[in-house]
Amino acid sequence: MKILFKNIIRSVKGHPRENIIILLNMILCTMTVFVLLQNYYFLKEHFDLVYGSDQVARHYSIVMSEEDNKAMRSDLLNRSPMYYVGKDVEKDIMNTPHLELYYYTYLQVPLSSFTERENIEKYAYVDEDLKRYLERIGEESEYSFMNILTVSENCDDVFKLRILKGRFLGEEDQNTNDPDIPVPVVLGNDFAESFDIGDIIELDGDRLVVIGILEDNMYMNGWGAVEYLDNMILTLCPTIPRSFDAGIEDYDYQKLLIYQYVYCDDESVDVQKEINRITAENGYYTYEVQPIDGIEISETKDVSSKNVVLVGLLALIACIICTCSLGSVLHNRTIQDRSVYCIHLCCGTPLWKINCSITLEMILYLMISFFPTLALSIIEYGGLMVPVWQILLFSGVIVFISLMPVFRLNKDNNLDMLIRDKII
Amino acid sequence: MALIEFKKLCKSYGSGDKKTVVCDNLDLSVEKGELVAIMGKSGCGKTTILNIIAGIDTYDSGEYYFDNSKVDIRTASEGVKFRRNRIGIILQHFALINDYTVYENVEIGLWESGVSRSEMKKRTLEMLDSLGIMDLKNKYPNQLSGGEKQRVAIGRAMVCKPMVLLADEPTGALDYETEAEIVELITKLNQETGTTTVIVTHDREVADKCSRTILLHKL
């Protein structure tokens, strides 16, 4: 073991200039690897969130032709028999194993409605488009708005929403016609400190009752976007306040499958085939189901293949540069040390111990080179976002490749070179 | 009783037209405790014989016995194992490690000998003392004279108490006065420790101090 220790110390002290270059190379290499891995993980996390198969790959949007759409709107307005067939189709889909119909849409409510709760203002946001529209039509322009989502009662199952307090919306909350009964709502986590279960929120003469509060970071995936629910109010009611009934027809229309979504929890089920079967059995319009998933949107099954190729290419270039530079400096340093290694061979030290000491020295530098990356990550992100072993493995492979010429050179070390004065 | 014995040993370098025969059916015997000088013109194979004895180089045919055991080394690692605790080598240019102190340069000879740390220290200090360089133990090679460097090199070669000391032109880089001191030292060590010593030299005066001289002719 003495040879390992002594040779490392000798080497560290004996080649200060080369060792600094080696260390800088490794720091650069580790940082490059870190940045590349970091970006990859960010990409992957975003992809999983927005397009990942666990999230949206099982969600489908229901689409129909423009002509059918018009006909169905007419059925709805006239309450023709086809309207009721549509209702049956909806029920049949809901009764089909593995299929769930769900629905969600935005309502935007003027903040003036919430003035009784001063602290609610911090959750409000300003929709500039809507403000401009209100100005154009002569309405007040100082409104801010709250986001309210009208959802179906199965959205908690479909999007795996977790409840912090109370419960999610259910069938018992469907009947919202009686103006004396407050509208049941579920609040996002941002409201958790301001409201509790049973609290009443006054809204333009209408009243909302809090029946549940979501855990934080809950979201629902739509068409390539994530709807974060922390600052949202969820309800089954189609209009808030209920006195505002301009959209009621649209709502009913939407309830007839258009703008609805199908969730299928079994990947082996052919959703289009099932929908075709149901519509055919009922003699209803034809629906097309379009998967709302990353595969459909980004034409890839994982993180965008272009990004991965780019990240991979950058990693490869960075690694080649680092490997060449590191390998070159190491090789030159080893040439300078050949006589020392020959002396060790002369004294009976096996070659593997010499190689081992060089490798251990490089591992030491690798560990040191990791600290700037660690510091950078802690300063920027408050912790290491990428698994340590991945960075070290990546850098380790580069170091190992750089060591190959050194091992090759050392293999040629022969005491005869020393004896015949070919080195000194 | 022969410690080193060559029987009809052949060694050549290259092949075809470029083949150079260095040894052709060489018979050589060195007894235990003997102090032998090998002399000859350049290219006659002196260093090659030294290399074969040390297990650094291989031979083409014939037989090589070391302490009555046949030696047939084919790989570098076999050579390293064979040399360990058997053979000490000193060279014309001393081959010291400049980053190590005199003490460490001598101690290297024991790093692979399997002795304990305390024994290592004891033997190193004894060796430095016997070579008269105890006061230099904390100095570095570039602070030493040629003669001192060669003493350190002898110390490194002898500290593991080898069976054979091989010296390749040990006085080649020294002045006349220092040369005499080093030869005297090698002779003294040979007598005191009984270590078989083989010296390759061009110098007649060095050879005269040895008990026997083997003269090689170029083929």
DSSP structure string for chain B: -EEEEEEEEEEEES-GGG-EEEEEEEEEEEETT-EEEEEE-TTSSHHHHHHHHHTSS--SEEEEEETTEE----SHHHHHHHHTTTEEEEETT----TTS-HHHHHHHHHHTTT--HHHHHHHHHHHHHHTT-GGGTTS-GGGS-HHHHHHHHHHHHHTT--SEEEEESTTTTS-HHHHHHHHHHHHHHHHHH--EEEEE-S-HHHHHTSSEEEEE---
The interface predicted TM-score of the complex, written ipTM, equals 0.84
Whether residue A138 is predicted with pLDDT greater than 80 in this model: the reply is no
Confidence of residue A421 (pLDDT cuts 50, 70, 90): low
Judged by CB atoms closer than 8 Å, whether chains meet at B95 and A6 is answered as no
Among A137-146, A392-401, B58-67, the range scoring the smallest mean pLDDT is: A137-146
Contacts with A, B 158-177, CB within 8 Å: 160, 168
**A291 pLDDT above the threshold of 80:** no
Q: Binning pLDDT at 50, 70 and 90, where does residue A409 land?
A: confident
Nearest Cβ partner for A420 among B47, B84, B96? B47
- Inform me whether the pLDDT recorded for A213 exceeds 90: yes
Confidence bin at B93 (pLDDT 50/70/90)? confident
Average pLDDT over residues B49-57: 87
A20, two tokens = 């600094």
The whole-angstrom separation of Cα A337 and Cα B156 is 19
Q: pLDDT (tens digit, 9 = 90+) per residue, B142-165? A: 998 888 988 999 999 888 888 999
A44-71 pLDDT per residue, tens: 776 666 665 555 557 787 877 788 878 8
Distance CA(A319)–CA(A322), nearest Å, equals 5
Q: What is the overall mean pLDDT for chain A?
A: 77
Q: How would residue A109 be classed by pLDDT, with cut points 50, 70 and 90?
A: low
- Pick the range with the lowest mean pLDDT from A230-244, A284-298, A344-358: A284-298
Q: Are A188 and A229 in contact (CB under 8 A)?
A: yes
B78 Cβ under 8 Å from any chain A Cβ: no
Which residue among B56, B109, B112 sits closest to A415, beta carbon to beta carbon? B56
CB contact under 8 A, B112 and A347: yes
A202 compared with A129, residue with greater pLDDT:
A202
Instruction: Please check the confidence at residue A197 and state whether its pLDDT lies above 90.
Output: yes
| Interchain CB contacts (distance < 8 Å): A and B | 76
Cα three-residue angle B121-A418-A403, rounded to 5 degrees: 85
Task: Tell me what pLDDT residue A114 has.
Answer: 45
Instruction: Decide: A384 and A372 in contact? Cβ < 8 Å.
Output: no
- Residues in A 139-158 with any Cβ partner in B closer than 8 A: none
Residue A210 scores a pLDDT above 90: yes
Question: Which contiguous run of DSSP H or E holds residue A364?
Answer: helix A351-381
**Alpha-carbon gap: B188 to the closest alpha carbon of chain A (Å):** 22
Residue bearing the bigger pLDDT, B82 or A259: B82
Average pLDDT score over residue span A334-340: 86
Say yes or no: B101 contacts chain A, CB-CB below 8 A. no
Q: Which position has the higher pLDDT, A133 or A116?
A: A133
**Whether pLDDT at A375 is above 70:** yes
Q: What is the pLDDT averaged over residues A198-202?
A: 85
Distances (CA, A) of A172 to A153, A169, A236, B167: 10, 8, 10, 103
User: Does residue A117 have a pLDDT over 50?
Assistant: no
B52 to chain A: closest CA residue = A416
Task: Name the pLDDT band for A288 (thresholds 50, 70, 90).
Answer: confident
pLDDT band with cut points at 50, 70 and 90 for residue A419: low
Partner-chain contact B104 A6, CB within 8 Å = yes
Weakest-pLDDT range from A300-304, A347-351, B63-67, B82-86: A300-304
pLDDT for position A136:
61
Residue in B77, B95, B100 closest to A339 by CB = B95
Q: How confident is the model at residue B104 (pLDDT cuts 50, 70, 90)?
A: very high
Q: SS3 string of B175-204?
A: CHHHHHHHHHHHHHHHHHHCCEEEEECCCH
Tokens describing residue A101: 């119909």
Share of chain A above pLDDT 70, in %: 75
User: pLDDT band at A251, cuts 50/70/90?
Assistant: low
- From residue B116, alpha-carbon distances to A344, A351, B108, B110, B122 in Å are 19, 22, 13, 9, 10
Per-residue pLDDT, A126? 46
Q: How far apart are the first and last CA of chain A?
A: 27
Instruction: Tell me if chain A has a CB within 8 Å of the CB of B47.
Output: yes
CB-nearest to B95 from A10, A350, A418 is: A418
> Residue A208 — very low, low, confident or very high, per pLDDT cuts 50/70/90?
confident
Amino acid A119: pLDDT: 41
What's the pLDDT band for B130 if we cut at 50, 70, 90?
Answer: confident
pLDDT above 70 (res A250): no
Local confidence band at B103 (pLDDT 50, 70, 90 cut-offs)? very high
Q: Give residue A206's identity as a one-letter amino acid code.
A: D
pLDDT at residue A420 greater than cutoff 70: no
Mean pLDDT of A304-319: 73
* Predicted pLDDT at A222: 61
Q: How far is CA A422 from CA B45, B95, B147, B171, in A?
A: 17, 12, 22, 18
Q: Do A349 and B104 touch (CB under 8 A)?
A: no
pLDDT of A214 over the 90 cut: yes
Our CA angle for A405, B94, B112, nearest 5°, is: 65
Could A343 and B108 be called an inter-chain contact, meaning their C-beta atoms sit closer than 8 Å? yes
Q: What is the CA radius of gyration of chain A?
A: 33
Q: Are A414 and B56 inside 8 Å of each other by CB? A: yes
Cα separation, B82 vs B71, in Å, equals 9
> Which residue from B minimizes the CA distance to A338?
B97
Q: Does A344 touch chain B (CB under 8 A)?
A: yes
Q: Looking at the complex, report in whole angstroms how far the Cα of residue B38 sits from the nearest Cα belonging to chain A.
A: 15
Residues of B in contact with A349 (CB under 8 A): 80, 111-112
Q: Cα separation of B154 and B144, whole Å?
A: 14
User: Which pLDDT band, with edges at 50, 70 and 90, does B122 fall under?
Assistant: very high
Q: Is the Cβ of A122 closer than 8 Å to some Cβ of chain B? A: no
